[in-house]
Amino acid sequence: MTESTENKRWHELGPFTIFDLETTGLSPSRDRIVEIAAIRIELDGATTRFQSLVNPGCPIPAAATRVHNISNEMVSAAPTFRNVAPEFMTLARGSTLVAHNARFDLGFLQESLFRAGHELWKGQTMDTLKLTRQVFAGLPSYSLQNLRFSLDLPQVAGQAHRAGDDVEWTLHLLRKILTTLLHR
């Protein structure tokens, strides 16, 4: 089987919507989303991308800004989560939501959907962190930033801890995981 054939087959397990969030902190009940990004991969491999800064309705702590480099000024004119949620949920409908450390992102997503009065996510989810630990056991670190190097993921022009760039790396990671599993 050629490399191109191997890479084509993994998405037939979908559709998948890979997503990532950046937040004002670590608590879904106290903190808020400041950025959301997603890539939907259809069964035929076609992709649709979504990304938006989100006005959290509260100041972004300096410690959070140091992590993701999203400032209060950057989100001041951004839409609220209540306004971006319908587009994201439409994109994700009928797919498996995928995130690296899904417990974190899904916790924020569900809490934010609830707070905004939207229907909660009831579909399937997949966690690339858990899958990577199973498929590539014994690595020194499973952070997305370290996996980029230890698993030789393709380069993405951007920075870690920005939702759009982390989604691209998670897409490459999911492809590597599923391709490995399909060809064992």
Better-predicted residue by pLDDT, 180 or 155: 180
Question: For the segment 64-75, what is each residue's pLDDT rounded down to a tens digit?
Answer: 999 999 999 999
Tens-digit pLDDT profile for residues 31-51: 999 999 999 999 999 999 999
* Mean pLDDT of the region 75-81: 98
Q: How confident is the model at residue 158 (pLDDT cuts 50, 70, 90)?
A: low
Q: 11 an active-site residue?
A: no
| Domain range summary for the chain, segments of one domain joined by + | 3-182
Q: Which fold has domain 3-182?
A: Nucleotidyltransferase; domain 5 (3.30.420)
Look over the chain and give the mean of its residue pLDDT values, rounded to a whole number. Answer: 91
How many CB atoms neighbour CB 133 within 10 A?
13
pLDDT band at 160 (very low <50, low <70, confident <90, very high): low
Out of 11, 68, 100, 161, which one is annotated catalytic?
Answer: 161
